[in-house]
Amino acid sequence: MNPIFLIGYMGSGKSTLGRALSSATGLQLIDLDHYIEARFRMSITDIFARHGEAEFRRLERAMLSEVSHFENVIVACGGGTPCHFDNMELMNSRGTTVMLDASVGRLFERLKVGRRKRPLIASLTDAELLSHITAALQSRLPFYSKAQHTFPADRLDDAEQIAESVQAFITRFITES
Ligand code: S3P
């Protein structure tokens, strides 16, 4: 099976759903941020701080290109992965792309507690975070909407919701492929 790429904004549940799908199906999860961190032995925060975003995007593209050749994997991308170079075209040509679609309200709630490891939002106040999410979604939508499929991602916040989402995802994208 060619890779399934999970894309979507920070906090849309790519890693959460990816982990649950991996344990339900036995497909290997590749979390692109973790893959980059392991390869360069540096946290995403340190890569941004020491080398800048442009260098991070270059590394991200190189690692995306590498993993896109793997078989039987789910790739949880970073929120910005689709928006640089021709990364969407690359993913669409190598596998199945699924955009996780979460509302601004859910993203805000999740990122309020999960912003520290994310350099682009780490220093924002709550009010700034909310307007940042709204603006970033607007500007990223043209890239995200190149995904072949959209999957609802508001309900990924407890074990029961995750289990239901996993079943729905498997039925739509894995059983039939
Ligand atoms: C980013 C999202 C992050 C990570 C980096 C940049 C973005 O991944 O790749 O901090 O530009 O949206 P997550 O979406 O997994 O948080």
Q: What is the pLDDT of residues 12-60, one digit of tens each?
A: 999 999 999 999 999 999 999 999 999 999 999 999 999 999 999 999 9
The closest alpha carbon to 124, from 144, 107, 101, 141, belongs to 107
The 149-152 sheet, strands edge to edge: 28-31, 73-76, 4-7, 96-101, 149-152
Q: DSSP secondary-structure letter at 27?
A: P
22-to-14, 30, 133 alpha-carbon distances in Å: 12, 9, 28
CB of 43 closer than 8 Å to CB of 112: no
57-to-36, 46, 52, 54 alpha-carbon distances in Å: 11, 14, 9, 5
Indicate if ligand 1 lies below 6 Å from the C-beta of 111.
no
Q: Name the CA radius of gyration of the chain, rounded.
A: 15
pLDDT at 57: 98
Residues 150-165 have pLDDT tens digits of 999 999 999 999 999 9
pTM strictly above 0.85: yes
pLDDT at 175: 84
Could you tell me the distance, in angstroms and rounded to a whole number, from the CA of residue 78 to the centre of ligand 1? Answer: 4
Could you tell me the distance, in angstroms and rounded to a whole number, from the CA of residue 119 to the centre of ligand 1? Answer: 8
Summarize the confidence of residues 96-113 as an average pLDDT: 97
The closest alpha carbon to 105, from 157, 168, 165, 169, belongs to 157
Residue of 57, 120, 124 best suited for mutating to test ligand 1, as the one with most atoms within 8 Å of CB = 120
pLDDT at 146: 98
The answer to whether residue 9 scores a pLDDT higher than 70 is yes
The answer to whether residue 177 scores a pLDDT higher than 60 is no
pLDDT at 99: 98
| Ligand 1 atom showing the smallest separation from residue 36 Cα | 9
Could you tell me the distance, in angstroms and rounded to a whole number, from the CA of residue 163 to the centre of ligand 1? Answer: 24
The answer to whether residue 141 scores a pLDDT higher than 80 is yes
The residue with tokens 């350099």 is 119
Indicate if ligand 1 lies below 6 Å from the C-beta of 84.
no
Q: What is the mean pLDDT of the chain?
A: 96
| Ligand 1 atom showing the smallest separation from residue 76 Cα | 15
C-alpha–C-alpha distance, residues 58 and 135, integer Å: 24
Q: pLDDT-derived band of residue 176, with 50, 70 and 90 as boundaries?
A: low
